[in-house]
Structure 1
Amino acid sequence: MANYIHVPPGSPDVPRLDVTVQDQEERRCREGALRLLRHLRPRWDPGDVTLQLFTDGITNKLIACYVGDAMEDVVLVRIYGNKTELLVDREEEVKSFRVLQAHGCAPRLYCTFNNGLCYEFIQGEALGPRHVRRPAIFRLIARQLAKIHAIHAHNGWVPKSNLWLKMGKYFSLIPTGFADEELNQRFLSDIPSSQLLQEEMTWLKNILSNLGSPVVLCHNDLLCKNIIYNEKEGDVQFIDYEYSGYNYLAYDIGNHFNEFAGVSDVDYSLYPDEELQRQWLRAYLEAYQEFKGFGTEVTDSDVETLFIHVNQFALASHFFWGLWALIQAKYSTIEFDFLGYAVVRFKQYFKMKPEVMALGAPEQGRGCTVLK
């Protein structure tokens, strides 16, 4: 099974509560959240509980529940977006969450419920595009991602990427049109034909799967807002593991570099330049070999190879999220221009393709020596 994830023995059980949180109106949402808190925080007086809605997410709805003003103990309630079960394997998400928690890479998962889950709030600041390019911060991000990538698969099992399987599933779910006339016209004029998308998907698989990038446990959605920076502690933590799973190491980094451009107001001039990337990748490789217990040094050749792989896998990231956005445009009830986002991702894919494929690619299948 390509996306097999084994939860380490001794990991705390995660209770499942038979509760459904309605999110269409504030009163019903509060009622559902308070039902969860009766189990999770039985000593809290329901009348004292404050609910704060976070508005940055474009997949789910996230609510912070707490008592008092200090926000020392906060329970996050995440309500799954409409039809997101088409996009996310919720069972695998919980397994990834538990594995990462067991290795000190995730907050505590309190429970799951019928249409969501509850977990611990991480103190700190959700980052933006201006933060992730600062050397003091991007070195922390590189180190944290290396720590996750260095997590061993269970009992020596050799994992396989499920990227192409997921991409194929997403492709089968993209709409052929929209009932709204204006939306449909934008779809027909601005989105590549399904035949062209199919051809590109086949090409991506043939080229990228032969680069030799290791398959590791990946976050797969490391956008800026999914990185929490605690300046006082001098560390970063990642949140939201919906898309986590085994994937190509270079994809995870390339996806993060794409997210330097932001989400709501995408600006690809913010994509990290070559100098920043090489600094980032060297910091990553140094941390990776430390977590793996390797004694080898990081060479310029290692950085060069990873630089090429990362930029070429960034193409797959654009393609993946372009398909994702088309599906969201059909089903999501969140206020966001998903179709416009799909257009932006596919345009950047086709713009970036000749640039990154012209890089001095190493021999087919050659990998970075540090990552072997």
Structure 2
Amino acid sequence: MANYIHVPDEAPTVPKIDVTVDETDYRSGALKLVKELRPSWKPSEVKVKFFTDGITNKLLGCYIGSMMEDVVLVRIYGNKTELLVDRENEVKSFRVLHSHRCAPRLYCTFNNGLCYEFLQGTALEPEDIRSQPVFRLIARQLAKYHAIHAHNGWVPQSDLWLKMGKYFALIPKYFKNVEQNARLKTEVPNSRCLREELVWLQQSLSLLGSPVVLCHNDLLCKNIIYNQEAGNVKFIDYEYSGYNYQAYDIGNHFNEFAGLNEVDYSHYPDRVFQLEWLRSYLEAYKELKDQGGEVTDREVEVIYVQVNQFALASNFFWGLWALIQAKFSAIDFDFLGYAVLRFNQYFKMKSEVAGLNLPK
């Protein structure tokens, strides 16, 4: 399989708890999980804190006392997200990343979610990921992910095109809501156009020679936790993790400079910033892969071209994703409007970056 992920033998096993957390009664379901995971905690003393940043799932933290030193995070999967996310693959990615000290500990899975360790730190904002020294920490941490070796020399393949093909087959043809349906017809490219773009993307980007590595694939601001005291960043949420093109993961991150709630693509990083970021990344990546030597200007230019063209694929991917979410998600977010933004940015950016050529 293209996205096969091998979990090391020494990785801790993850129990499955037969509990379903009802979205209308979070506390009782969460307490059942806590009873298994923290049997010494008194149910009456357990506090629940809701985290509202996600637009795919619901997330809450359970703890006792006032310091939030030991927190059990409970993530409840969103409606029909199994259409978009391979949950078995997510758990494997979680375990692999934890075994390489790149992820918190996964405590358990349950019928409609999972529980994991809370990371101390601050979830970042768009302005933070552009700042010194944070962007260098992010670049080096992403290099650490990408340097994780595939099992026994196995050469991984990306499942990006397979996944986009599946998403394309799931996009809604119409909405029952009259206003939504009118927007779909007038603001979103039609199916024939999208199919042609998907073919063009695969044919063009597959030729760029970007290595296939273990990727996060969803490196938006809120998935980056900065611990200023420790001087490090950690990434969370591995729903979309898997083997993919190195340049996709970086281009996807650069797209997220625009933010999520008030999207502004003028914040997409300029060439000068990108070259600095990419040099930091390559220095760490080459060191971790024992490739030695200085990072050359040519190496930076090659990955610059790859990243900006793969940023197109990122916009297209999340445009398809948002159309599917607009049909199924129960979360209060304008997914259709977000799809329009991503496709508009795709076509705007295509005219700017499609002409970039790899250096001779």
Alignment of 1:1-372 (within 5 A): 1-23=1-23, 25=24, 28-362=25-359
- CA deviation map 1:256-293 (0-9, x unaligned): 00000001110001111111100000000000011111
**Letter paired with 2:221:** C
Q: How far 1:9 sits from its partner (Å)?
A: 1.1
- CA distance, structure 2, for counterparts of residue 272 and residue 66 of structure 1: 39
- CA deviation map 1:141-199 (0-9, x unaligned): 00000000000000000000000000000000000000000111011100000000000
Identity rate, percent: 70
Contact 2:301 2:358 in 1 (8 A): no
**Letter paired with 1:2:** A
Task: Report SS of the residue matched to 1:110.
Answer: strand
**Letter paired with 2:67:** A
Q: How far 1:135 sits from its partner (Å)?
A: 2.5
Task: Report SS of the residue matched to 2:59.
Answer: strand
- CA deviation map 1:242-267 (0-9, x unaligned): 00000000000000000000011100
Aligned residues: 360
- CA distance, structure 2, for counterparts of residue 53 and residue 349 of structure 1: 34
- CA deviation map 1:64-84 (0-9, x unaligned): 111111000001000000000
- CA distance, structure 2, for counterparts of residue 132 and residue 306 of structure 1: 20
Query: How much is the aligned-residue C-alpha RMSD, in angstroms?
Result: 0.7
Q: How far 1:219 sits from its partner (Å)?
A: 0.1
**Letter paired with 2:15:** P
Q: Which runs of 5+ in 1 are unaligned?
A: 364-372
Tell me the TM-score normalized by structure 2. Answer: 0.99
- CA distance, structure 2, for counterparts of residue 175 and residue 360 of structure 1: 36
- CA distance, structure 2, for counterparts of residue 358 and residue 167 of structure 1: 23
Runs of at least 4 residues of structure 1 off by over 4 A? Answer: none
- CA distance, structure 1, for counterparts of residue 178 and residue 312 of structure 2: 31
- CA distance, structure 2, for counterparts of residue 9 and residue 342 of structure 1: 41
**Letter paired with 1:36:** L
- CA distance, structure 1, for counterparts of residue 249 and residue 359 of structure 2: 20
Contact 2:298 2:359 in 1 (8 A): no
Task: Report SS of the residue matched to 1:81.
Answer: coil
Q: Which runs of 5+ in 2 are unaligned?
A: none
